[in-house]
Amino acid sequence: MTDTAAKFDARAHEYQLQSRIALAGYDACHELTACMLAAKLGSGSSAHVLVAGAGGGAREVLTAGALEPGWRFTAVDPSQAMMDIAVTAIDAAGLLGRTSTKLGTVDDLPSEAVFDAATLIGVLHHVPGDAGKLALLRSISSRMKPGAPLVLAGNRLAYEDHQLLLTAWGERWRMMGASPSEVEAKLGKILQGADPPASEAEVERLLTAGGFGNPTWFFSSLFWGACLASRR
């Protein structure tokens, strides 16, 4: 293994480890995402899935690609470093032949509605303000076929309004080996580094304004929630 490959492997491992601590049920959420999409698309379907914000581990591609051999993916991320990690993971899983990658945003893709499904996992709560969130959802919906399913997953509660959940999240890091100072740093970072919708009702309002309807919630873990909605 070259030094560069070893570096990517170490970064990918660290990213996946941290993600699984931050989100209890990380793997279950991704597996259920594939199950929900398959329930809408049909068992054993041939589908082209847009993965928005695929950088890091590309877990959406790895999980769904292993479970549904007929699906193809277009993975988009604006970060070169994160996309490099994703491509390395996709290649190692033998899924690069079924995956197109795009360094950039969804807006950089062709504007035609060609996707049979889409995922937006762990992204929306990092987009500041309602205007930015709506712009992203509308950009995704405009590239999906009518009726196509979107799985939206991310934090969907205002952190400061749910102190018990916030404390429990800090306790999870402690139980997984973080020192008191590390827990304090994690709590400080989550309070300053994201702008989640304030409630599930707010998520549903954004989805409606973004071109989606009939959301079904199927996963919850502290602040995190996942739902499937259909492009109108």
Domains by residue range for the chain, with CATH: 3-158+196-231 (3.40.50.150)
pLDDT at 216: 98
Name 213's bridge partners: 230
Report how far residue 149's alpha carbon sits from residue 220's, in angstroms, rounded to the nearest whole number.
Answer: 19
Predicted model pTM: 0.93
pLDDT tens, 36-63?
999 999 998 999 999 999 987 799 999 9
pLDDT at 221: 98
List, in order, residues 6 or more apart from 149 with CB less than 8 Å away: 36, 37, 40, 41, 117, 118, 228, 229, 230, 231
Cβ-contact 225, 32 below 8 angstroms: no
* Cβ contacts of 41-46, under 8 Å, gap ≥ 24: 41/116, 41/117, 41/149, 44/68, 44/70, 45/70, 45/71, 45/116, 46/70, 46/71, 46/72
